[in-house]
Amino acid sequence: MRTDFSPINRSKAIFDDIYALDDPRAYFSVLGDLDYMIPDVAEPVVRQILTAKASATGLKPVVLDVGCSYGINAAVHRFPLTFGGLRHRYARREMRAISSETLVHLDRNFYAAWPDVGSARFIGLDMSAPAISYATDVGLLEQGIVADLEKEALSTDSARIIRSTDVIMSTGCIGYVTEKTFSKILDATDERLWIISFVLRMFPFDSLAATFARRGLVTERLAGATFIQRRFRDADEFESCLASLAALGVDATGLESEGLFHADLILSRPEADARHASGRNCHRR
């Protein structure tokens, strides 16, 4: 069965314009106003998972951030920075006045001036060419791929770039992308990789989990904890989300009912790794 998230997506605000600009100022301003925080709340957990993944080899894993946008997950992982803090950087009147070109130059120096405390190397994939260009130009991503794998094939060059991926991660992207995108990525990568997905609770994960299972990956959802993505933009978005959750039989009480989108943490990895880790905090789907 193919996933069709379009009815759920119709109930979500559209931000396409801020994803496709030459720099992330509007992204931080618009999503920051909605208290977008998933990169920040995901980061400590992502760090633990990356450390666990690295323990087998002792090497820094290569993370492919799917729907990476301007490379914000790489920024908050690799440097002692937060989405909230970066938002304030770009909200300054002086920062709003400069050209994108100047901003890229300043940001390249800005990121280079911080110690890299990351436990991984980052590459990224996004359908937005300007966002990928920014993220690679300022040094957040080692390499970037511009592609919409919902609609197009993975090019040979892109396949070569993602071949070294050890971990795929995504925040705020599943819903825009489905198992179609992941299948194409998995065709080009090693079957021992791990997939860290932060997924809004209104998007069913079954088709993705089934796709991963066909490649020998076991999918576990962290029970008893959720991760705030952002506030609802308005009453329409709030009500539509509650309706989508109700249709799925998901109880929104105390979570989305309080006015916030919540994401689940879902980890997919080879059976042997899942067994080895014993799933102290996780339960099988």
Ligand X SMILES: C[S@@+](CC[C@H](N)C(=O)[O-])C[C@H]1O[C@@H](n2cnc3c(N)ncnc32)[C@H](O)[C@@H]1O
CB of 127 to ligand X, least distance (A): 4
CB of 92 to ligand X, least distance (A): 20
| CB neighbourhood size of 149 (10 A) | 20
Task: Verify binding: residue 19, ligand X, rule CB under 6 A.
Answer: yes
Nearer to ligand X, 135 or 267 (CB): 135
CB of 233 to ligand X, least distance (A): 13
Coil/strand/helix, residue 73 = helix
What DSSP element (H or E) covers 121? strand 121-126
Q: How far apart are the first and last CA of the chain?
A: 18
Per-position b or e across 6-42, b if 16+ CB within 10 A of its CB = eebeebbeebeebbbbbbbbbbbeebbebebbbbbbb
Q: Which of 46, 131, 162, 217 binds ligand X (CB under 6 A)?
A: 131
Coil/strand/helix, residue 194 = strand
CB of 218 to ligand X, least distance (A): 24
User: Where do we find the tokens 């193919």?
Assistant: 2
Q: Which of 8, 37, 177, 241 binds ligand X (CB under 6 A)?
A: 177
Segment contacting ligand X (CB under 6 A): 99-107, 115-123, 173-181, 266-274?
Answer: 173-181
Task: Verify binding: residue 69, ligand X, rule CB under 6 A.
Answer: yes
Task: Verify binding: residue 173, ligand X, rule CB under 6 A.
Answer: yes
User: Which CA distances in Å does 144 have to 16, 185, 219, 241?
Assistant: 19, 14, 27, 32
Q: Which of 62, 63, 72, 208 binds ligand X (CB under 6 A)?
A: 72
Residues in the chain: 285
Q: Which of 12, 23, 32, 39 binds ligand X (CB under 6 A)?
A: 39
The footprint of ligand X (CB under 6 A) covers 19, 38-39, 67-69, 72-73, 126-128, 131, 148, 150, 171-173, 176-177, 181
